[in-house]
Copies of this chain bind each other. A is one copy, B any other.
Amino acid sequence: MNTLYHYPLSPFSRKVRLTLSEKKIEVELVEERYWEEDPDFMRRNPAGKVPVLKMGSRTLSDSNAICEYLEETHVTPALLPRNAEDRCEARRLVGWFDDKFYHDVTKKLTGERVFRKVMNTGYPDSTNVKEGARAIKYHLDYMAYLLDQRRWLAGNEMTFADFAAAAHLSCLDYTSDVDWNRHEVVKDWYAKIKSRPAFRSILADEVPGFQPSAQYADLDF
């Protein structure tokens, strides 16, 4: 059996969970409070982060490295385009969401609202929350700009870029931080990805002490 060490509101874990599920790779989910630096877990990934994927004797870490590995070893369905230039665009957007969007938005909203408390590192920093709330607006505008020209974020096929984006937005939606009325095209895109069977386990996530927003699991939000 394969095992994925993850945390429910980790966008990096969610990207890998979506990938595993789309590629129909069965996996047992083990929740890991990775910030507690349990020695067993640190042996699996000295970076001390989730996700970590155990497949047979192999222990894989870094969400990007895991996704590329799964794409190479389980080719159907393809989650990167065939053409090198289009692949570059998909990877650019994965980097955009996992680096820029994460630091500008996810870390400042879901990070402050939830992780501060579960990690026991103090109260939410209101400056960060304000900055995150401002930044998500122009990020949603950028997504709308892309989706005005394309069916999916990186082109006309669904790719890792969509999974990365949906992973972050679903965490932010859990904490009521997404204004879905800002752009119809973004809402339509999210409705499309949210209704995929791969998304079901994510919509069932719960972090004790934090109720998900009313529309979190609702497919007609």
Contact = CB atoms under 8 A, between A and B. Distances in A.
A68 B47 contact: no
A92 B59 CA distance: 11
A27 to B, nearest CB: 16
Interface stretch (A33-41, A81-89, A124-132, A173-181): A81-89
Interface band, chain A: 20 to 34
Interface string A52-90: 000000101110111011001100000000001101110
Contacts of A96: 47, 62
Contact of A88 (B46, B68, B89, B95): B68
A49 B99 CA distance: 11
The complex is assembled from copies of this chain, and their number is 2
B88 A65 contact: yes
A43 to B, nearest CB: 12
A142 interface: yes
B58 A92 contact: no
A91 interface: yes
B91 A68 contact: yes
A25 to B, nearest CB: 14
A85 to B, nearest CB: 6
B95 A64 contact: yes
Contacts of A99: 99
A150 interface: no
Contacts of A69: 84-85, 87-88, 91
B62 A73 contact: no
A62 B142 contact: no
A97 to B, nearest CB: 11
A106 to B, nearest CB: 14
Nearest to A138: B46
Contacts of A92: 60-62, 65
Interface string A96-125: 100110000000000000000000000000
Closest 5 A/B residue pairs (Cβ): A65-B91, A62-B95, A69-B88, A62-B92, A65-B92
21 contacts: A46-B142, A47-B95, A47-B96, A47-B100, A60-B88, A60-B92, A61-B92, A62-B92, A62-B95, A64-B91, A65-B88, A65-B89, A65-B91, A65-B94, A65-B95, A66-B88, A68-B88, A69-B84, A69-B85, A72-B84, A72-B87
